[in-house]
């Protein structure tokens, strides 16, 4: 259990960094700077999200929590999938601007709910 808190802190930091990177990339698209797709900003989120996923799996193993027994954790996992899908649509240049904006808002709302579930862990 010595690793729990360092890995939990890594998990929380990578989660915040994920949202920061999404906001940065969305902001660059809004100000019409699609050149970020040719920089580190295109690959860095994948590295960060891999760390986020690895730390999440580690925490599940260490705590022994089962996403199908803990309602909040199962909902959180479904929201993560929704966040990935809506974030993908929000960053697609081939999509119409209105659709991309709605996808971006939905992705951010889902991430807010994920943060609330992660911090409150409601036992329903």
pLDDT tens digit at each of 124 positions of the chain: 688 999 999 999 999 999 999 999 999 999 999 999 999 999 999 999 999 999 999 999 999 988 888 899 999 999 999 999 999 999 999 999 999 999 999 999 999 999 999 999 887 6
pTM equals: 0.91
**Long-range interactions of 12-16: CB distance < 8 A, separation 24+:** 14/48, 14/49, 14/51, 14/52, 14/55, 15/52, 15/114, 15/115, 15/118
The domain ranges of the chain are 4-120
């Amino acid at each position: 259990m010595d690793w729990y808190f360092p890995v939990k802190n890594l998990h929380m930091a990578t989660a915040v960094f994920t949202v920061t990177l999404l906001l940065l990339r969305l902001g660059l698209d809004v100000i019409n700077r699609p050149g970020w797709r040719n920089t580190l900003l295109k690959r860095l989120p994948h590295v960060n999200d891999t760390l986020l996923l690895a730390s999440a799996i580690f925490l599940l193993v260490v705590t022994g929590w089962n996403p199908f027994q803990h309602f909040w954790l199962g909902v959180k996992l479904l929201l993560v999938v929704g966040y990935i899908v809506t974030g993908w649509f929000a960053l697609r240049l081939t999509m119409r601007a209105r659709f991309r904006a709605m996808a971006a808002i939905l992705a951010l709302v889902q991430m807010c709910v994920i943060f609330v579930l992660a911090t409150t862990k409601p036992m329903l």
